Structure 1
Amino acid sequence: MNQPLPRRTALRAAAVLVVGSVGVTTSACTSDGSGDGRPDDGGVDGDADDRSTSLVVAADQRAGVVDVQASPHEQSLAASRALLDSAGVVVVASADTDVAAAAELAATHALPVLVAGPGLAAELDRLGVDTVVQVGAGEPEDVDASPGLVVVDGSDAAAVASLAGLPAHPKAHGAVVLLQPGGDLPPAVAATADAAGADRITVQHGDVRATPDAVGPVRAGTGPILALGSDLGPTEQVAQRVRTVRRASELPGGGFLPFPGRRMIALYGHPQTKALGMLGEQRPEQAVRRARALAKEYSALSREPVIPAFELIASVASQAAGDDGSYSRRTPIEVLLPWVEAAEEAGIYVVIDLQPGRTDFLTQAKFYEPLLRRPFVGLALDPEWRLEPDQKHLRQIGSVGVDEVNRVGSWLAALVREHDLPAKVLTLHQFRPSMITDRERLDTTLDEIQWLVHADGQGRQGDKQSTWKRLRRDLPDGVWLGWKNFEDEDLPMLTPEQTMAQVSPTPWFISYQ
């Protein structure tokens, strides 16, 4: 009975198998960018040449999500369903105790491994298996009940030796296994992953978006992605992060997370006036050169890469109510666009700043959605200029409640998902705690944005340091820090060397006004 007729081992296209401390889930990401971009219960796009192929996380017969505490049987089925479309020869462990021996044998011949149990016969049939190499003393009923199978005894040295004469199984390209630091694959999963020719990559900081070594392999193919380890996050989050790496444009300097992969040095201002900051003191092309020169001064002072940035005031606080009574003048998008395009061409990050007056931040953010759809453009909220219905600028210092801020964050995160963008910086300008009420409830769970509290005070350095210390008090975890140097108002303005040495912790976003 030792006459195997091997079939080609085919790699499962565009699946995501998450092996971690998560429950079994059924979900998938749409391939056309429709909806909110979160996983749903769709299927697999089978076009291997289409890099927009859906990423699937599903608990059905075609792909799987399994807890690391699940049985080897369940793990082996999940790996097979996720990775393989077909396999002519499969090693079957008769019991959980036989998995290590089965995996060792499978590794010798680059074969996948399954473990006996419910659903084995169905999986063998789905794969179109011709030959089963059985390891262990037991006799799996599912194998015996499958007509047409050639069963090879794994303990029969001569029978096993004959496997060496089988045609080599071609390894499919594009499969990637993502491991948390210190993690490893269960033996059965490892054997099946190796049979598929999967690359193994250790994920930095638990986030594939922050792992440079993963970018090339994940973007290069449309093969399945296996993620092992609870530190990599919930199933849907892992799937979305992989989708981002596959589809999104990389940020200036590379990668998909603004921080900690870079430090930004920005010119701040409005493109139509010199009065509101350094940015408006020249045309876009000259501003590019000036921002680059300023960033270069910081390069030797920073362990992280330094990139230049623009912070463009998009809506300007106004003393006049205007036609809409908002006390805020929206700069037309066509005025801002040349600056955004010049920055993109030069590899400069852009943050557009909102001073909404009596309008809420979300309304104004939606007005600038065409700009925020661009991968290099983040957002800044300036509560100093957020007025109550009976307030006017310069009579009161404005403020905003955290619920309004969180609504902007949720909307921006959904925009990132929908348009397959890298994570965005969402800056909160602040120089008094009262400017953002209930800040401790800031929603830092949003995976698609990075909050940054920007110390916006001016004056004597002692006062600025006091403000810096006060703003950091009770700062929610996961919030980054920014600092502003005022050319005319600071007494004195810090040099780059002083900024890096005296402002502690070192800010990640440093702007000049």
Structure 2
Amino acid sequence: MITRRIALLGLAATAVAAASGCSGSPSDGSGSSSSGGTQGPSAEASPSTIGHRVAVNTGLASGVLPSDDEGALAVSRLVLAEATAVVVVQPAPPTPSAPASPSAGASPSNSASPSAATSPTPAAGGDVAAASATAAALGLPLLIAGPELAAELNRLQTRTVIAYPAAGLDLGDREVVDGPADPAELQVEGLPAETAPATAAALRPRGESVSAATAAILAAAGIALTEVPFTDPRATAESVALVKGATGAVLGVGAFGDSARFAARVEAARTLPELPGGGVAPFPGRMMVALYGHPSGGTLGVLGEQGPEQSVARVKEFAAQYQAFSDVPVIGAFEIITTVASASAGPDGDYSYETPAEQLLPYIEAAEAAGIYCVLDLQPGHTDFLTQAKRYEELLKRPTVGLAIDPEWRLKPGQRHMTIIGQVEVDEVNATGAWLADLVAANNLPPKVVILHQFQQRMIVGRERLDTTRDELQYLVHADGHGNPPLKQATWRNLKEGLPANVWLGWKNFIDEDSPTMTPQETMEDVEPRPNFVSYQ
């Protein structure tokens, strides 16, 4: 058995997460058993009895798996179709509570000592590290002993169990081998197990602890478990590449949320175009730094102070300054005022000037060529946001064009700009978002940024009812207050109160109105949480 021992020594050094290549040749049939274990099959046994295999469920679908010990059997049920040999570890017994102190009137000598019959000593928990090493070396799943173990072994058609420890386990007529501390000492016919090549992949979010059993089950199935920085598989170029590299299911282990939503995000990562900076979803895998304004000139913001190509160069300089303080890619953005609040009613009487799309295109096309995101800002006056958004449907069909809703400039009948701060009902925001989400879905576009400009809570009435359930959109509340840093921070804190779930945050630096304008370092280090979007006006 020298050849087998050398092979096992090499395999034992392999980490559980790297066990996807653990197929091996059938046993040479020498058939000795480990000390303390059940005698293995004889050399005359047929290969179909001796050979062990692990098979993955053919119907395995993308979804979320639990990461803790309690969920390990569920992982086995979802992932494995068969495992004729497994490693089983017995959990550590619960820590016994301290015995009650004898009362003052009782003599210790009169207290009966507990007998072995009345207080059995539970078996010590198994050596998880040794069990994991054995599972990795032999290409086997690791299961945790419990009430449902026998049923799972029946489903898996398990014939051989390597147990840590074997004492106290009643597993019927199966071969039960006492697991050694060193897997190289183990001699069981038909191992390492044969495993078909894997087509699936598994992701775990950074910082998520994954139980040894779950890791071993995935490794035995040939499914590599890879760490990703976020719980959204669409978020980064790396996670999208992992998803695209798997021809089968993609499994999220741990805090990835709902299985159906995770599976839909996997499909999006596979099929949708990536955004500048990598990944399909705008956030959290990138930060955006934007120039705000209108193509007509510098009166309405810094974007119009120069032409499209010069704006590209300028915003890239800003983005580079922020990149020094960011752990995600920082890309440039243009926030283009698309409909402009007007002092006159105009031909349609809505007190809003709708910029022709052809005037916006030079900036949008320059941005697309340079890997810069665009956001169309709406200031609708007496009309509504949905009506104005539909005017720019063709522009919004572009993958890197999002939308901004600016309630300051949404007027009620009889109101005029600059005499009152406007506001919008959240139902109007939700209706606009639903239309845009449908447009994204119908045209196979990556999720769009939808900015909600605010500097007062009252500007969005009923904001707590904002519908953030559509994965086609990523809402971002943008704090627009200007002044000195303490005043801006007070506005920021106010807008964070009652923020709906799944909403990102943006910050605006005013070049002229702020006193002083915060530096990129101050913006990144003093604003909590760090904004996902920073614009300059």
TM-score by length of 1: 0.69
Aligned ranges for residues 46-57 of structure 1 at < 5 Å?
A: none
Partner of residue 163, structure 1: 190
Partner of residue 266, structure 1: 290
Where 1:206 maps in the other structure, the secondary structure is: coil
Question: 8 Å contact 2:77–2:152 — kept in the other structure?
Answer: no
Residues of 2 paired with 1:103 and 1:278: CA distance? 59
Aligned ranges for residues 78-157 of structure 1 at < 5 Å?
A: 78-80=78-80, 90-91=84-85, 107-110=136-139, 117=151, 138=171, 153=175
Residues of 2 paired with 1:501 and 1:6: CA distance? 56
- Aligned-residue identity in percent: 46
Partner of residue 276, structure 2: 252
Residues of 1 paired with 2:459 and 2:247: CA distance? 47
Deviations 1:415-462 (A, max 9, x none): 555555444332111233332223344345555544332233456777
Q: Structure 1 residue 470: deviation in Å?
A: 4.4
Aligned ranges for residues 211-250 of structure 1 at < 5 Å?
A: 213-229=238-254, 231-250=255-274
Q: Structure 1 residue 473: deviation in Å?
A: 4.7
Deviations 1:378-428 (A, max 9, x none): 221111111223333334332101222233344444555555544433211
Residue identity opposite 1:2 in structure 2 = S
Q: 1:451 aligns with which of 475, 481, 502?
A: 475
Q: Structure 1 residue 233: deviation in Å?
A: 0.7
Where 1:232 maps in the other structure, the secondary structure is: coil
Question: 8 Å contact 2:52–2:191 — kept in the other structure?
Answer: no
Q: Structure 1 residue 235: deviation in Å?
A: 1.4
Residues of 1 paired with 2:300 and 2:308: CA distance? 16
Question: 8 Å contact 1:14–1:225 — kept in the other structure?
Answer: no
Deviations 1:328-353 (A, max 9, x none): 33333343333222212211121111
Q: Structure 1 residue 310: deviation in Å?
A: 0.4
Partner of residue 77, structure 2: 77
Q: Structure 1 residue 156: deviation in Å?
A: 12
2:319 maps to 1:295: yes
Q: 2:210 aligns with which of 164, 176, 184?
A: 184
Structure 1 residues 220 and 11, CA, compared in 2 at 3 Å: closer, same or farther? farther
2:372 maps to 1:378: no
Consecutive unaligned residues in structure 2, runs of 5 or more: 1-44, 92-125, 144-148, 163-168, 180-185
Residues of 2 paired with 1:302 and 1:182: CA distance? 22
Which deviates more from structure 2 when the two are superposed, residues 195-204 or residues 299-308?
Answer: 299-308
Residues of 2 paired with 1:444 and 1:397: CA distance? 25
Which deviates more from structure 2 when the two are superposed, residues 6-15 or residues 410-419?
Answer: 6-15
Which deviates more from structure 2 when the two are superposed, residues 297-306 or residues 396-405?
Answer: 297-306
2:356 maps to 1:332: yes
Residues of 1 paired with 2:368 and 2:440: CA distance? 18
Partner of residue 357, structure 1: 381
Structure 1 residues 432 and 138, CA, compared in 2 at 3 Å: closer, same or farther? closer
Deviations 1:167-207 (A, max 9, x none): x54523443253674432573x5555223321112344533
Structure 1 residues 183 and 8, CA, compared in 2 at 3 Å: closer, same or farther? closer
TM-score by length of 2: 0.66
Where 1:340 maps in the other structure, the secondary structure is: helix
Residues of 1 paired with 2:252 and 2:393: CA distance? 33
Residues of 1 paired with 2:58 and 2:351: CA distance? 57
Question: 8 Å contact 1:295–1:308 — kept in the other structure?
Answer: yes
Partner of residue 341, structure 1: 365
Residues of 1 paired with 2:484 and 2:176: CA distance? 79
Residues of 2 paired with 1:435 and 1:426: CA distance? 16
Structure 1 residues 103 and 456, CA, compared in 2 at 3 Å: closer, same or farther? closer
Residues of 2 paired with 1:227 and 1:94: CA distance? 24
Residues of 2 paired with 1:371 and 1:388: CA distance? 28
Partner of residue 332, structure 2: 308
Residues of 1 paired with 2:249 and 2:229: CA distance? 20
CA RMSD of aligned residues (A): 4.4
Q: Structure 1 residue 240: deviation in Å?
A: 2.2
Partner of residue 222, structure 2: 197
Structure 1 residues 319 and 197, CA, compared in 2 at 3 Å: closer, same or farther? same
Partner of residue 3, structure 1: 47
Q: 1:482 aligns with which of 503, 506, 531?
A: 506
Structure 1 residues 165 and 191, CA, compared in 2 at 3 Å: closer, same or farther? closer
Q: 1:175 aligns with which of 185, 196, 201?
A: 201
Where 2:380 maps in the other structure, the secondary structure is: coil
Q: Structure 1 residue 265: deviation in Å?
A: 2.1
2:527 maps to 1:504: yes
Residue identity opposite 2:387 in structure 1 = T
Residues of 2 paired with 1:216 and 1:438: CA distance? 39
Say which one has the larger Rg.
Answer: 2
Question: 8 Å contact 1:77–1:120 — kept in the other structure?
Answer: no
Residue identity opposite 1:79 in structure 2 = V
Question: 8 Å contact 1:180–1:232 — kept in the other structure?
Answer: no
Structure 1 residues 363 and 297, CA, compared in 2 at 3 Å: closer, same or farther? same
Which deviates more from structure 2 when the two are superposed, residues 103-112 or residues 380-389?
Answer: 103-112
Q: Structure 1 residue 239: deviation in Å?
A: 1.4
Where 2:299 maps in the other structure, the secondary structure is: coil
Question: 8 Å contact 1:183–1:228 — kept in the other structure?
Answer: no
Residues of 2 paired with 1:184 and 1:263: CA distance? 29
Partner of residue 408, structure 1: 432
Residues of 1 paired with 2:493 and 2:71: CA distance? 48
Question: 8 Å contact 1:175–1:199 — kept in the other structure?
Answer: yes
Residues of 2 paired with 1:191 and 1:353: CA distance? 51
Question: 8 Å contact 2:139–2:192 — kept in the other structure?
Answer: no
Residues of 2 paired with 1:170 and 1:511: CA distance? 52
Where 1:389 maps in the other structure, the secondary structure is: coil
Residue identity opposite 1:195 in structure 2 = A
Question: 8 Å contact 1:318–1:327 — kept in the other structure?
Answer: yes
Question: 8 Å contact 1:12–1:223 — kept in the other structure?
Answer: no
Residues of 1 paired with 2:87 and 2:477: CA distance? 55
Residue identity opposite 1:332 in structure 2 = P
Residues of 2 paired with 1:293 and 1:228: CA distance? 39
Q: Structure 1 residue 356: deviation in Å?
A: 1.6
Residues of 2 paired with 1:450 and 1:315: CA distance? 22
Structure 1 residues 440 and 8, CA, compared in 2 at 3 Å: closer, same or farther? closer
Deviations 1:459-511 (A, max 9, x none): 677765654454445444654433334445x1646163585389633544332
Residues of 2 paired with 1:306 and 1:225: CA distance? 28
Residues of 1 paired with 2:131 and 2:484: CA distance? 71
Question: 8 Å contact 1:401–1:437 — kept in the other structure?
Answer: yes
